[in-house]
Amino acid sequence: MSNEIPEQATMIAEAVRFGTVSASQVLEEHLARIDTREAEIHAFNLVLADEARERAAEIDSIVAEGRDPGPLAGVPVALKDNLCTRGIPTTCSSKILGDWKPPYDATVVKRLSEAGAVAVGKTNLDEFAMGSSTENSAFGPTRNPHDTTRVPGGSSGGSAAAVAAGFAAISLGSDTGGSIRQPAALCGTVGVKPTYGAVSRLGLIAFGSSLDQIGPFTHTVDDAALTLEAISGHDPADSTSIERPPLDLRSKLMMGAAGLRVGRVTDLPAGASPDVQQRLDEAFDALAAAGAEIVDVEVPAFGYGLTAYYLIAPAEASSNLARFDGVRFGARTSAPDTNQMYMATRTDGFGAEVKRRIMLGTYALSAGYQEAYYGRAQKVRRLIANDFAAAYANVDVILTPASPTVAFEVGDKASDPLAMYLCDTYTIPSNLSGDPGMSVPFGTGDHGLPVGVQVLAPALQDHTMFRAAAELERYVQSQQEGALA
């Protein structure tokens, strides 16, 4: 960016509030970047240039009148295209939704607007958030801004790519089994899945209702904290929303790591590549040097989380996607009778991965099999929560890889669903337990591509997770400054 327009959300908001730059100037800088690189990256399903210009002008008028424009004043944000936006197409990157325009805004969209943010577009995703590479979109794949021959991760790959490419200072994604943290790692951004229920899910088109959580992608830990403070807090219209005030995160970022007990999982499943493991080991060393205590813990949940998830998540998807039938929502394919219309609509409207998961989930819920599959998986989920609770009795946070490898090439895993599912080995367990997790950029690995370290914490201890993440970020910044000196 130019010297006049800062890149970080906190700095943009401060500059707009104090009149150093206008929200319109900030927006035009970001739209120029979109014009330059969007064709090769395809981060967006829809760019809202005209709407964004109107909103930026409104923010500038508020500033000129001496009123408070909000903590995210003039900050360009990108929204995953499974978040409802009133009167604006929300497709979930699926043909079955076509150009459906919701009659209301998701709660997080309203809260971003109330905080002064400027929405610049709806981002691409794996169809209905089912995937780990953003190759399953009905509108074509998104590519990694660091190397466009490689994937950005998924399912929130468009949101991750939008921030990594400088198209937006903040983006929102959803995380059902790692769909924020894994693409954040592959694109070199901060990505956060908060405690389940800390952020309203109202207006998020559901994949797995007991697993989904909305969170931000940002350039810095501070930006992520600012964003979560703006969008978190109780929403009486969401039955899964925790009755607590907004998260208090930024006040904890400078506390340092002294006294923190950091868990190193001794029974972590194999699969992390040597370059990723090297960065993880360095992260433990960095926190130890900052005064943290490294404690070995066992968390068997990492070994069986994947199996439980791929029964629970498809079962919930099967139920949630039943409404997309050509009658209640979305596109319809004509046929001689209702049953044939249902079949034709879903055959034409859903992609291969969505069909695969619907069939898996329907089977797991079918008569005679529900207890053997779905019921047993729910019991395993309880054991997973117990495993984490036992570990957190001895540690404050846990570090793992966010992704087993750096970004892989487009098409590399597309024909092998199991290989794709294994990308989420380290992220899935915390969705099953409901605990928070985040990916922090921590250097590079093979081919000079970003590596993310995952920080996990107990439910409602998001502030402790951010405290550790901020220390990791400071270490990376000190290493970069040392290299430049």
Residues annotated catalytic, as ranges: 80, 155, 179
Q: How far is CA 400 from CA 37, 107, 227, 469, 485, in A?
A: 33, 31, 24, 12, 31
Are residues 97 and 330 in contact, defined by beta-carbon separation less than 8 angstroms? yes
Q: How many residues belong to the chain?
A: 485
Alpha carbon distance 12, 218 (integer Å): 13
* CB distance 351 to 128 below 8 Å: no
Looking at residue 370, the DSSP 8-state letter turns out to be T
| Phi, psi (deg, nearest 5) at residue 137 | -70, 140
Residues 6+ apart with CB under 8 A from 285: none
Assess contact for 81 and 173: CB atoms under 8 A. Answer: no
Write out the two tokens for 347: 């055959």
What does the alpha-carbon distance between residue 260 and residue 359 come to, in Å, rounded to a whole number? 45
CA angle 450, 463, 453 (to 5 degrees): 20
Strand partners, 444: 450
Neighbours of 343 (CB within 10 A): 13
Q: What are phi and psi of 244, to 5 degrees?
A: -140, 155
Closest CA to 12 of 163, 166, 169, 118: 169
Q: For the chain, what percentages of helix, strand and coil (3-state, to nearest 5) are there?
A: 45, 15, 40
Token match 């995953």: residue?
80
Rounded CA separation 126/403 (Å): 17
Tokens of 466: 């951010």
Please give the Cα distance from 303 to 314 (Å, whole number). Answer: 19
Asked whether 466 and 229 are in contact (CB, 8 A), the reply is no
d(CA 121, CA 30): 11
Q: Which of 183, 172, 250 is nearest to 215 (CA)?
A: 172
Compute the chain's Rg from CA coordinates.
21
Reduced to 3 states (helix: H, G, I; strand: E, B; else coil), residue 333 is coil
